[in-house]
């Protein structure tokens, strides 16, 4: 078995995925409460995409040697990375090309069975505007950094896809 395949079948790989997503969630909360930057609806949706990557890492870390759990974890990771990249791209487009006709909602539209903004409003309730750019680093906005982050998640996902889904011999 190749080294990459062994790595994909280990708890370390899934733990790194989980820890990276936890780090992003903690950074989001620091920006919200430590730096007092108000998250918009799209920011909240991006937060949910990162939470989905965290859940994928948690699923994979439970039993990384079980093919079905790796499949579920990989599927969740891939969907969350693509969805997060799409959301970050849309938010960046709203910020770079502001238009009175392309605005975001003031209220998140979570499904009835999972009203995250009702369950945990301190984390999932938006208070900012999507067109605002409240923070930049190296002249790159938070939405653009998230595009980079989700692209990195996607590239790593592609690199690990085949080795992770191979059955152990």
Of residues 83, 85, 94, the one with CA closest to residue 130: 94
List the chain domain ranges: 3-165
pTM to 2 decimals? 0.84
- Segment 38-57 shows an average pLDDT of 91
Of residues 132, 13, 115, 32, the one with CA closest to residue 74: 13
pLDDT band, residue 166 (cuts 50/70/90): low
pLDDT band, residue 20 (cuts 50/70/90): very high
Q: How far is CA 134 from CA 43, 96, 114, 148, in A?
A: 12, 13, 29, 18
pLDDT for 168 beyond 60:
no
What is the model's pLDDT at position 136?
Answer: 67
How many CB atoms within 10 Å of residue 12?
13
CATH superfamily to which 3-165 belongs:
DsbB-like (1.20.1550.10)
pLDDT for 14 beyond 60:
yes
Q: Are 27 and 54 in contact (CB under 8 A)?
A: no
- Segment 7-24 shows an average pLDDT of 86
What is the model's pLDDT at position 55?
Answer: 93
Q: How far is CA 110 from CA 35, 45, 48, 107, 117, in A?
A: 26, 9, 10, 9, 8
For 92-142, the pLDDT digits (tens) are 888 888 777 667 777 787 788 888 877 877 788 788 776 777 766 788 788
Contacts of 50 (CB under 8 A, 6+ apart): 21, 24, 25, 28, 80, 84
List, by residue number, the catalytic residues: 40, 43, 47, 104, 130
Q: Are 116 and 110 in contact (CB under 8 A)?
A: yes
pLDDT band, residue 4 (cuts 50/70/90): low
Contacts of 62 (CB under 8 A, 6+ apart): 69
């Amino acid at each position: 078995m190749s080294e990459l395949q062994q790595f994909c079948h280990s708890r370390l790989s899934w733990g790194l995925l989980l820890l990276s997503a936890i780090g992003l969630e903690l950074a989001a909360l620091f920006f919200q409460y430590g730096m007092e930057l108000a998250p918009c609806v799209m920011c909240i949706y991006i937060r949910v995409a990162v939470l989905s990557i965290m859940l994928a890492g948690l699923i994979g870390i439970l039993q990384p040697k079980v093919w079905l759990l790796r499949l579920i974890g990989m599927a969740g990771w891939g969907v969350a990375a693509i969805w997060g990249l799409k959301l970050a791209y849309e938010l960046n487009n709203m910020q770079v090309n502001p238009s009175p006709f392309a605005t975001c909602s003031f209220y998140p539209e979570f499904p009835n069975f999972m009203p995250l903004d009702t369950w945990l409003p301190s984390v999932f309730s938006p208070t900012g505007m999507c067109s605002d750019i409240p923070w930049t680093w190296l002249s790159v906005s938070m939405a653009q950094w998230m595009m980079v982050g989700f692209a990195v998640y996607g590239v790593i996902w592609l690199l690990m896809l085949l080795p992770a889904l191979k059955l152990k011999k």
